[in-house]
Amino acid sequence: MFDDNGSFLLATIEFFIFCAWFMCLFWIFGDLFRSRDLGGFGKTIWSLFLIFLPIIGSLAYLLARGHGMSTRAMEAQAAARARQDEYIRTVAASDTGRGSAAEQITSAKALLDSGAIDTVEFEQIKAEALGTRPTTARS
């Protein structure tokens, strides 16, 4: 297949160029379908252009819409970050379903001051909120 070292080097370079071009096509298609300012008809035309004339189509896309590719990628990353942060906030807030330890202790102290619970119950609630064993309180 390879009759000398030059043909192997040429085949290696061709393979590298093919992989780089294929990766470029993936980036272009990702940007094309991520774009919100382009309608369905425009995306269809660009897709057909990229499929039937791949090299000319990719160069034309990079010239026509390449300036906004980084902007759209950064917007997508910011949106993903916002969704992740919101998810983390909801999971962190509902870890026990009863609020934070400080809120639990504050509400228990208000109940103790109003006379609704006694000192032993207050210590149990405080221990549960802090995740420790309750201490026996002596009245």
Q: pLDDT (tens digit, 9 = 90+) per residue, 28-79?
A: 998 998 888 889 999 999 999 999 998 899 999 989 988 888 888 898 899 9
In a domain, 138, yes or no: no
| Total structural domains within the chain | 2
Same structural domain, 31 and 73: yes
Beta strands in 1-50 (DSSP E): none
| Contact of 72 with 35, CB cutoff 8 Å | yes
Q: How far apart are CA 31 and CA 63, in angstroms?
A: 14
Residue of 91, 133, 126 whose CA lies nearest to 111? 126
Same structural domain, 75 and 112: no
- What is the SS3 assignment for 98? coil
Same structural domain, 37 and 68: yes
- The answer, yes or no, to whether residue 98 has pLDDT greater than 70, is no
Same structural domain, 28 and 63: yes
Q: How far apart are CA 31 and CA 25, in angstroms?
A: 10
Same structural domain, 32 and 88: yes
* pTM score of the predicted model: 0.54
| 2-6, 39-43, 125-129: least confidently modelled range | 2-6
- In this predicted structure, what is the pLDDT of residue 34? 86
Same structural domain, 88 and 119: no
List CB contacts of 124: < 8 A, sequence separation 6 or more.
134
Q: How far apart are CA 54 and CA 62, in angstroms?
A: 12
- In this predicted structure, what is the pLDDT of residue 128? 86
Same structural domain, 105 and 76: no
Same structural domain, 31 and 60: yes
| Structural domain range at position 117 | 101-130
In a domain, 136, yes or no: no
Model confidence pLDDT, tens digit, residues 86-95: 998 888 766 5
Q: How far apart are CA 110 and CA 119, in angstroms?
A: 12
Virtual CA dihedral for 23, 24, 28, 34, nearest 10 degrees?
A: 40
Q: How far apart are CA 101 and CA 111, in angstroms?
A: 15
